Amino acid sequence: MALMKYAPQALKNLFMKPATKKYPLEKPVYPDGSRGHVTISIDECISCGMCARACPNGALKVDRNAGTWTIDRFDCIACGYCVLKCPKKCLFMEKGYQTPGPEKKEETFTKSPEVLAAEEEKRKEAARKAAEAKAAMAAKAAGESKPAEEKKD
């Protein structure tokens, strides 16, 4: 009787706790490194857009001027390719699956005002430097062409 081979298992089952969990009350335990959902530490982000270009599903949007990083959780397939591609390593794959929702909407992360202000300052500084460099180049070019003209004379 091959069927009787299950008798020990059946006895064990009688005195075992249920295998299922009372889900919303009891939180599920995920192992470390489980690919649940993508998160970002937005203040470290340099808005390079590598993640948005890498995403196989086109679920990410990056806006450099507004300093936002947007993810469509319903399009995200949790493959982790954006995390691999991020040059600043500010994207993370966290455990725990995303919560279900009644409507399809995007989640937007915005940089804090201080970081945005600092970036704006940097951009202005860069623009100023670029203008200065341009002016210097122009002056140099003018200076170079002058002796040439003098030579001609």
Using rule CB under 8 A, residue 56 touches other proteins: yes
Provide the residue type at 28 as one letter. P
Which residue from 64, 73, 115 is spatially nearest to 94, judged by alpha carbons? Answer: 73
**What does the DSSP assignment read for 107-122?**
EEEE--HHHHHHHHHH
Q: How far is the CB of 87 from other proteins (least distance, A)?
A: 15
According to CB under 8 A, which residues from 66 to 105 bind other proteins? 77-81, 84, 93
Segment contacting other proteins (CB under 8 A): 2-10, 38-46, 67-75, 132-140?
2-10
Using rule CB under 8 A, residue 5 touches other proteins: yes
List all residues 6 or more positions away from 56 whose beta carbon is below 8 Å from its beta carbon: 77, 79, 81
Using rule CB under 8 A, residue 34 touches other proteins: yes
Kindly state the tokens that stand for 2.
């091959």
Segment contacting other proteins (CB under 8 A): 26-34, 68-76, 111-119, 133-141?
26-34
Query: How many beta carbons lie within 10 A of that of residue 125, not counting itself?
Result: 10
Contacting positions for other proteins (CB under 8 A): 2-3, 5-6, 9, 30-31, 33-35, 54, 56, 77-81, 84, 93
